[in-house]
Amino acid sequence: MTPAESSETVEATSLDPANWVQFREQAHAALDLVLSHVEGIRGQPVWQPPTPDALSYFTQELPTDAGDIDELLAGIRDYVVPFATGNLHPRFMGWVHGAGTPVGVIGELIAAGLDLNCGGRNHIGLAIERQVVKWMGQAFGYPACASGIFVTGSSMANFLAAIIAKTEALGVESRERGLVHADRPLLAYASSEAHSCIAQALQLSGIGSVHLRQIPVDEFRRMRGDQLERAIVADEQIGAQPFLVVGTAGTVNTGAIDPLEEIAAIAERHRLWFHVDGAIGALAMLSPKMKRNFSGLEKSDSIALDFHKWGHVPYDAGFLLVKDAEAHKRAFAQPAAYLQRSNEGLAAGDTWPCDLGVDLSRGCRALKTWLTLAAFGTHRIGASIEGNCALARYLADLVESSDQFVLKAPVALNIVCFGIRNADPETVRAVVTKLQLSGIAAPSWTTLEGESVVRCAIVNHRTTIEDIDIFWDALTQLAGEAAGK
Ligand SMILES: *Cc1c(COP(=O)(O)O)cnc(C)c1O
């Protein structure tokens, strides 16, 4: 190949736009499409199932030839935008979903544009992540030297915490030797209301979920401290090794907050790692009024939380905070020739995020999170969380003053669970499903003590009292129709 020929081939391989002027217009239009959708969300159905056309748009052959960007963006406008999850909408109340913000969109866009790889190396992406780690340390009363890492979600954060606790309990050699060399079985503790990912974390860690003790809860669905200590003592007596207790700050079923102060004291007495699953609730610490409900959180060894839930950072943005930075690193850091560090240059830096988790290549979840926290400030985010809790109490009052419905769990945070009087489980589910299909509102359902209940998690910063009223009217009507049959 002559140099001229080879430079032709080089140019031909570029995936950048041939016409930047045209591409810029297309990109701006795409951003406008998204922003207009968010701005006009209240006028849209909460949710609608994808049409057959939309589904078949995504069953095409692998494309070999270049597509037309205008046509592809039109496809996204027609077949993607209308059929999203629904969580942007103020009357989405199913499960626990954050609602995103336009500011978060910008953070995601810029991180994608810079194509930041935040597994390691010496660049600004890592500094942004360290900034958020520092901020969270401050918010939760951890020491300044605390460690932390962004992950997909709290499922992953809880899993990483279980691995750190296991490594601390068995010693770092156990990373090589495995569990078969442990002389006593390891045991973990969580309440019977803990999220299913805690059991999964035990499964994935090799410890096995039979070694997770489910501690009974009180009438507020909080872990019973006396039962926890009794279980630990009994296990110590049979020669097992209790190593981890997971408290929940905001349970997924009802929003209950375990007695963190009491659990911290028990964990300390028995030398257990105290991890808090704060996926839903931890960010409520940003509200000065709600902070006292989480007393004891600062005594934990690690905290999992989701910025994509009450922080409204666009999915995904899970996070793990660890008090003992050395313990965090001991559990994951892996020597490798191609990951060697230096004092300066691109390979500088002592601890990289790849030393603190499972991922090597990873995007920059920190930028959209940093931008969200910086743009709103903790007071505004805290106030929106308080607002959600006030709406949940308003809804609970509607339930309690109605003879058609009955409240099924105390409302500690933002989750309201209630039954429909004289309705069998199928009817409850049918009413919820009809409401979802109507596009008016989207609650979900869960099972409490074997009973199907309507479950509303008020997580959305856009939700107003009128939205609760609109939801309530539609629900009352559908439940009435179901009862009339
Ligand atoms: C949502 C949730 C999880 C799981 O978090 P993901 O971000 O969905 O992985 C764990 N625990 C609780 C209490 C949750 O609400």
How confident is the model at residue 237, as a pLDDT? 97
How confident is the model at residue 6, as a pLDDT? 60
pLDDT band at 340; cut points 50, 70, 90: confident
CA angle 270, 274, 277 (to 5 degrees): 150
Of residues 9 and 470, more confidently modeled? 470
Residue 343 inside a domain? The answer is: yes
How confident is the model at residue 195, as a pLDDT? 98
* Co-location of 385 and 359 in the same domain: no
pLDDT at residue 1 greater than cutoff 60: no
How confident is the model at residue 99, as a pLDDT? 98
d(CA 102, CA 257) in angstroms, rounded, equals 31
* Co-location of 396 and 467 in the same domain: yes
How confident is the model at residue 259, as a pLDDT? 98
* Co-location of 163 and 57 in the same domain: no
CATH number at residue 148: 3.40.640.10
For 470, the domain range is 378-483
* Co-location of 39 and 133 in the same domain: no
| pLDDT tens by residue, 448-475 | 989 999 999 999 999 999 999 999 999 9
Question: pTM surpassing 0.85?
Answer: yes
Domain boundary (342, 373, 404) is at 373
Q: What mean pLDDT is predicted for residues 154-167?
A: 98
* Co-location of 415 and 382 in the same domain: yes
* Co-location of 138 and 42 in the same domain: no
Residue 117 inside a domain? The answer is: yes
Q: Ligand 1: which atom is nearest the Cα of residue 280?
A: 15
From the DSSP assignment, how many helices (H) and strands (E) are in the chain? 15, 11
The set of residues, in sequence order, having a beta carbon less than 8 Å from that of 460 and lying 6+ positions away, is: 87, 89, 90, 92, 93, 97, 99, 388
* Co-location of 44 and 28 in the same domain: yes
Q: Ligand 1: which atom is nearest the Cα of residue 153?
A: 7
| Cα distance between the two ends of the chain | 81
Q: What mean pLDDT is predicted for residues 420-434?
A: 95
Q: Ligand 1: which atom is nearest the Cα of residue 156?
A: 9
Segment among 98-102, 119-123, 160-164, 363-367 with least mean pLDDT = 119-123
Helices (H), 48-173: 52-57, 69-79, 102-114, 124-139, 154-170
How confident is the model at residue 342, as a pLDDT? 86
If one counts the domains in the chain, the total is 3
Residue 280 inside a domain? The answer is: yes
As for ligand 1, residues whose beta carbon falls within 6 Å of it are 96, 153-155, 195, 197, 248, 251-252, 277, 279-280, 306, 318
Ligand 1 centroid distance, CA of 7 (Å): 51
pLDDT band at 155; cut points 50, 70, 90: very high
Distances (CA, A) of 151 to 318, 360, 479: 5, 11, 41
| pLDDT tens by residue, 54-86 | 999 999 999 999 999 999 999 999 999 999 999
pLDDT at residue 292 greater than cutoff 80: yes
Residue 13 inside a domain? The answer is: no
Mean pLDDT of the chain: 95
Segment among 146-160, 214-228, 329-343, 417-431 with least mean pLDDT = 329-343
Looking at residue 249, what DSSP letter applies?
B
Residue 102 inside a domain? The answer is: no
